[in-house]
Structure 1
Amino acid sequence: MVYLIQDIIGFLESYAPKHYQESYDNSGLITGNAKDEVKGVICALDMTEEVVEEAIQMGCNLVIAHHPIVFKGIKQLTGKNYVERTVIKAIKNDIALYAIHTNLDNVQMGVNHKIARQLKLQQPKILAPKKQLLFKLETFIPFNQSEEVLEALFEAGAGKIGEYSGCSFLTKGNGTFIPSEKANPTLGQKGKAEKVSEEKIEVMFPSYLKNKILQTLKKVHPYEEVAYYLFQLENENQEVGSGMVGDLEKGMKGKEFLAYLKKAMNLQVVKHTALLEKPIKRVAVCGGAGIFLLQSAKNSGADVFITADIKYHEFFDADNQIVICDIGHYESEIYTKELLVEILSQNFTNIALYLTKIVTNPITYI
């Protein structure tokens, strides 16, 4: 079967919708034509000249990386820095560059879940769920047609709450209306008051599906004029947010845990605050720069918080309440490329998928 680049992109953005990326981010297709046929895919943490060259040598025309090569606007392409050189090389050689960054950080089965799996955490969950990412739809359907409309809304993505699907709330009542002379009523007659036995349907859905849900409603609703209410909810979306927290199978003493961490994440060094007297059982994680989640980690009851890019004075904020471990940005997210291969290989069985062999870490240790 032939796949186009847009097929891969469509799948990835159903897995980690671009709507969930942070405002500063630049996830998505950076170079390339989405309608080109996929010849091969290389998965990487970073987009660099070396990774693009690797794609050329491997006969691949799509690089999927966690970190975008372009964060800010580019006004010139003269090759004066590594960003411009990478983009130029990709364009010259028809290599598509696709980034899946903070949107993959923020979904439940994303970057932080992969870290949790590396550490074998039990029942991991989002550390800091995001708010205002859910809508509630209320609409009114003739009683004998409500099931058909409800099924269509479910098919479009409404009614999913955690591990439950088909979630709704139904209320029976009567709807009244008077069709004008210009109306084309499904029920009743022009100019005459009508009372219809109806069900009010209430369903929740993620905000990025808003247009799809409303289009579906208007397509399948039997009435000429569709009455509905749409509410943005303050509820936390437990499936979208920053970081992750879970428990080890058994508690460990501080030094024992540090040895376990180094082995599980293949680390050379760990920068950490003072070890506490109590054993480490609950573990909070955030790939990349995650110190903004320190208070959330404390609130979760975590004994240790594992992240990267912590500044000197930020280590003081542990305040003898939690152990902070800085394992390095590259080291915290390197398994993301394996995650990408995992999710793609399960859904695209006959495309060439590769893990980059290039070590893109700009930091070395002695």
Structure 2
Amino acid sequence: MKVKNIVNLLEQLAPSQYQESYDNAGLITGSGHDEVTGILVSLDCTEEIVDEAIEKNCNLIVAHHPIVFKGLKRFNGKNYVERTIIKAIKNDISIYAIHTNLDNMSHGVNYKISSLLGLKNLNILSPTKNNIQKLSVFVPSGNVDKVANALADAGAGIIGDYTSCSFRTEGTGTFKGNDSSNPTLGNKNTLEKIKEVKIEVQFNAHLKGKVLSAMHQSHPYEEVAYHITPLEITNTSIGSGMYGTLPQPIPVNDFLSKVKETFKCGTIRHTKVLKDTISKVAVCGGAGSFLLRNAIGVNADIFITGDFKYHEFFDAEDRIMIADIGHFESEQFTSDILIDYLKDQIENHKIYKTEVNTNPIQYFA
């Protein structure tokens, strides 16, 4: 199996289209045409991780955090980013990052956190906007079912618990081919009037290429008339953060103890205790201060995340309890998501979880 095959599988798990604008998810080093000798999965990619990959004969590292966030102008090993990239390239090791695109999946990082806390009735805290598009395509009446079925097989026409959803309008299509044309119906240099049906289906934006390919392959026309329209509606299963409820309210101190034990926190920085018990919980793996207003908006009792700055704690304004458990601590189980997925998808390949603790923060207790 080649690197590009693993990349395609990871793209199905978390399409790169859903990464945030500042992110750099995707294949960072290496060639997609290399045969995979082994896969090492980690939260971060550092020199130690590359050394571990070399030791385990893995030429593909799948990391959550990209080692490169912005352009590098020099490669002289002056910092850990450059040294890591140089070492990976010298040893023909591919590095793939699956970052905020995985964060934004309903089955991703925040789902893992919520599951570990035992939360139920889960919802995305801040759904990504403009992630649904509509295809309108004009099809001769005798080919409607063939095209519609192909679009459905490509993932178009899913609305909630329903599949193959479409709207169809009958009408008359006109066209006149020139000398270079090869019309499926009618003759060259003749204005043709054909009974056609306009098929309208919606689809998740990341499926655009797949849906258009299915349309072209199933459509009988040499030139297909279609257009794509962004929709205002939002797929609420894609976006940042997550919130849910505990099966039953838990005393605050008991809940914090559970969090500390589950995520192996050196400490939990939090704002003042506002309620005796915790019932509704909002979470965001990594740095989640940008979702504080959303957590307040859903009336969560506590917001669990990492990387809150001093002045940002004031923004709770006694409306919610903030619990900063640390960036690494909140995302450490991301590797388990990736390993479970890859082992379920491929056979006869060595897949390892890193033995290196890449958390740069230490605690003095």
TM-score range, shorter chain: over 0.9
> SS of 1:281's equivalent?
strand
Greater mean alpha carbon deviation, residues 196-205 or residues 305-314: 196-205
1:252 maps to which residue? 250
Answer yes or no: is 1:344 the counterpart of 2:342: yes
> SS of 1:257's equivalent?
helix
Mapped contact 1:176–1:193 kept (Cα < 8 A) = no
CA RMSD of aligned residues (A): 1.9
AA partner of residue 88 (structure 1):
I
Greater mean alpha carbon deviation, residues 218-227 or residues 243-252: 218-227
Cα distance, 1:287–1:219 mapped onto 2, change above 3 Å: same
1:141 Cα deviation after fit: 2.2
Cα distance, 1:187–1:289 mapped onto 2, change above 3 Å: same
After TM superposition, the structure 1 = structure 2 runs for residues 1-366 of structure 1, keeping only pairs within 5 Å, are: 3-171=1-169, 173-177=170-174, 179=176, 182=179, 184-188=182-186, 196-277=194-275, 279-366=277-364
Give the paired residue count. 363
AA partner of residue 332 (structure 1):
S
> How far apart, in 2, do the equivalents of 1:318 and 1:236 lie?
28
Q: Report the TM-score, using the length of structure 2 for normalisation.
A: 0.93
Mapped contact 1:254–1:276 kept (Cα < 8 A) = no
Cα distance, 1:80–1:154 mapped onto 2, change above 3 Å: same
> SS of 1:117's equivalent?
helix
Cα distance, 1:176–1:163 mapped onto 2, change above 3 Å: closer
AA partner of residue 245 (structure 1):
Y
Mapped contact 1:162–1:238 kept (Cα < 8 A) = no
> How far apart, in 2, do the equivalents of 1:4 and 1:178 lie?
45
1:100 Cα deviation after fit: 0.8
> How far apart, in 1, do the equivalents of 2:83 and 2:306 lie?
28
> How far apart, in 2, do the equivalents of 1:277 and 1:63 lie?
44
1:223 Cα deviation after fit: 3.1
Mapped contact 1:42–1:62 kept (Cα < 8 A) = yes
Superposed CA offset, 1:137-183 (max 9, x none): 11222333211001111222312334443222233x22142535646
> SS of 1:258's equivalent?
helix
Mapped contact 2:173–2:195 kept (Cα < 8 A) = no
> How far apart, in 1, do the equivalents of 2:10 and 2:326 lie?
26
1:362 Cα deviation after fit: 0.5
> How far apart, in 2, do the equivalents of 1:220 and 1:284 lie?
45
Gaps spanning 5+ residues in structure 1: where?
A: none
Mapped contact 1:126–1:239 kept (Cα < 8 A) = yes
> SS of 1:210's equivalent?
helix
> SS of 2:329's equivalent?
helix
Mapped contact 1:39–1:61 kept (Cα < 8 A) = yes
AA partner of residue 176 (structure 2):
P
Superposed CA offset, 1:170-212 (max 9, x none): 33x2214253564654445667776544432111112233233
> How far apart, in 2, do the equivalents of 1:91 and 1:110 lie?
29
Mapped contact 1:178–1:191 kept (Cα < 8 A) = no
Between the aligned residues of both structures, percent identity stands at 51
Mapped contact 1:178–1:190 kept (Cα < 8 A) = no
> SS of 1:237's equivalent?
coil
> How far apart, in 2, do the equivalents of 1:180 and 1:14 lie?
40
Greater mean alpha carbon deviation, residues 175-184 or residues 28-37: 175-184
> How far apart, in 2, do the equivalents of 1:255 and 1:279 lie?
8
> How far apart, in 2, do the equivalents of 1:195 and 1:296 lie?
54
> How far apart, in 2, do the equivalents of 1:52 and 1:309 lie?
26
Cα distance, 1:143–1:247 mapped onto 2, change above 3 Å: same
Superposed CA offset, 1:278-298 (max 9, x none): 531111111111111111111
Superposed CA offset, 1:229-288 (max 9, x none): 321112122122111111111111211211121122222311111111253111111111
Gaps spanning 5+ residues in structure 2: where?
A: none
> How far apart, in 1, do the equivalents of 2:114 and 2:125 lie?
12
